[in-house]
Amino acid sequence: MNEKVTATPPPSTDPCAFRPNDGVVFATGLEREHWYQLTNRGNSGSVLAPYLPNRVYQSYPNNVSRVAMASAPRGQFVQQFQNLAGTHEPQTAFKFALPRSDVYYWRFYRQYEPGYQFTCESKAFSIYAHNPITYTLPAGERPNGTNEVSCFLQMMPNCWYDNRSMMRRCFDAEGVNTRSEPVLYCYHLDQPTGYGEKFRQNIGEPTYITSGQWIDFHMMMKRNTPDQADGEIKLWINGVLKMHHTGIRFRTVPELQLNAVSLGGYIGGTCTSARDQKIWDDHYMVATTFITDERFAALCETKTEWFDTGIGYDWDLDRRCWPGVSCLP
């Protein structure tokens, strides 16, 4: 089968209309109760969901929930991660597939509850390249340039071991756990150990975050030309560019492209949460181009529902195609 389906375009005044050329491939303001199921409709993210036979998320992961919050930066609802003392919870997260691309920008809001203790690494919104999309690189194993790479936004505790400089660093006095250092934790071909490299802010003075306030995080990951050291990553914090690293080798083959996103609140890796405490996220967005403030302000659920063109599987629900996109054979 190689058919195409066409559909009547929605009104141009709709800020959440399907616009295949505007670059936005994933967006949710969390305002709809079942946003995570809508996101799966016709999406290869259904392949990454753990529920059979339809492979659609039927519920929230453990210790993750959608809650109303008066101080939400957009709308009324946010995503809540419940950290449990002495654990890595929540250990699972929503993960969805994206159209294959060599570059993605991803942006969202995050807040740590007032008085949060930053004693451990806190992982957040992540971008992946899986080849094939169902492949997962074991933790601590080096990527080989053909199978998988990723970049996580990660909040580091006061004192942590930098595997690039082979040094343990502290930015506050020992024992002070009221601030955190945002880094991009990336797997790439030249990482110093089997585990990924924590890229630090390299523009101006580092921005450290504290609890009880919403932070606007905006990231970019660009794949290198195969076998050339021209990959890039960027991080903006509250609209200010704080990180830009270049010369990174992520891949050796063109097939290894960005194709998945994960929305998580995992606490790890060698330590666990110091106490029961909460993290809140709001307004996730992924695009192939820079996410402007105007674009980010739109409260939308998924803008486009695509598939990974390398895997031949049936859609969940009752549809095999998305308007304007060729169906798989």
Q: What would the DSSP string read from start to end of 201-218? A: P-SSSPPPEESSS-EEEE
Mean pLDDT value of segment 35-61: 54
Q: How far apart are CA 307 and CA 42, in angstroms?
A: 7
Rounded to an integer, the average pLDDT of 99-112 is 94
At residue 119, the pLDDT reads 95
HSE, side-chain direction, 13 A CA sphere, residue 4:
5
CA-closest candidate to residue 257, choices 91, 140, 104: 104
With a cut of 90, say whether residue 46 has pLDDT above it.
no
Q: What pLDDT does 92 receive?
A: 87
Of residues 304 and 75, which shows the higher confidence score? 75
**Between 162 and 265, residue with greater pLDDT:** 265
pLDDT at 172: 94
Query: Is pLDDT above 50 for 302?
Result: yes
Query: For 4-20, what is each residue's pLDDT tens digit?
Result: 334 344 445 666 655 55
Q: What is the pLDDT, as a whole number, of residue 14?
A: 65
Contact between residue 243 and residue 200 where contact means Cβ atoms under 8 Å apart: yes
> Does 40 or 36 have the greater pLDDT score?
36
pLDDT at 253 exceeding the cut of 60: yes
First to last CA, the chain: 5
Q: Which of 183, 188, 189, 217 is nearest to 201 (CA)?
A: 183
Q: Measured over all CA atoms, what is the biggest interatomic distance in the chain, rounded to whole angstroms?
A: 64
Return the percent helix, strand and coil in the chain, to nearest 5: 5, 35, 60
Q: Mean pLDDT throughout 206-232?
A: 97
- The predicted model gives 156-183 an average pLDDT of 92
**pLDDT for res 32:** 81
User: In sequence order, what are the beta bridge partners of 277?
Assistant: 83
Q: What is each CA distance from 18 to 7, 286, 322, in whole angstroms?
A: 10, 14, 10
Q: How confident is the model at residue 310 (pLDDT cuts 50, 70, 90)?
A: very low
The Cα–Cα gap between 277 and 66 comes to 16
- Tell me which of 48-62, 103-117, 131-145 is least confident: 48-62
Q: For the residues 91-116, what does the mean pLDDT come to?
A: 91
Give the model's confidence band at 146: pLDDT under 50 very low, under 70 low, under 90 confident, else very high.
very high
C-alpha span between 324 and 315 (Å, rounded) = 16
Candidate from 17-21, 52-56, 132-136, 268-272 with smallest mean pLDDT: 52-56
Residue in 186, 195, 226, 200 with CA at minimum distance from that of residue 102: 226
For residue 309, is pLDDT > 80? no
Average pLDDT of the chain, as a whole number: 82
Within 10 angstroms of residue 147's Cβ, the number of other Cβ atoms is 18
Distance CA 229, CA 249 (A): 5
Alpha-carbon distance of 144 to 146, in angstroms, equals 6
Q: Please report, for the chain, how many H helices and E strands are present, in that order.
A: 3, 18
Dihedral of the CA atoms 161, 167, 170, 174 (nearest 10)?
Answer: 90
Output the CA–CA distances (angstroms, integers) from residue 85 to 127, 215, 266, 273, in the order listed. 27, 24, 13, 5
Distance of CA 144 to CAs 123, 149, 175, 250, 253, Å? 23, 9, 38, 9, 10
Q: How far apart are alpha carbons 193 and 162 in whole angstroms? A: 11
The pTM score is 0.86
Confidence (pLDDT) at 222:
98
pLDDT higher than 60, residue 210: yes
Mean local confidence (pLDDT), 55-68: 83
**How far is residue 203's CA from residue 219's CA, in Å, rounded to a whole number?**
14
pLDDT band at 205 (very low <50, low <70, confident <90, very high): very high
148 vs 259: CA distance, rounded Å: 10
Whether 138 and 296 have beta carbons less than 8 Å apart is answered as no
State the Cα–Cα distance between residues 154 and 318, nearest whole angstrom: 38
Distance (Å, whole) CA 193 – CA 179: 27
What pLDDT, on the 0 to 100 scale, is given for residue 98? Answer: 80
User: Could you give all domains of the chain from N- to C-terminal order, each with its CATH number?
Assistant: 24-34+62-289 (2.60.120.200)
The pLDDT, as a whole number, for residue 232 is 98
User: Which pLDDT score, from 0 to 100, does residue 8 have?
Assistant: 42
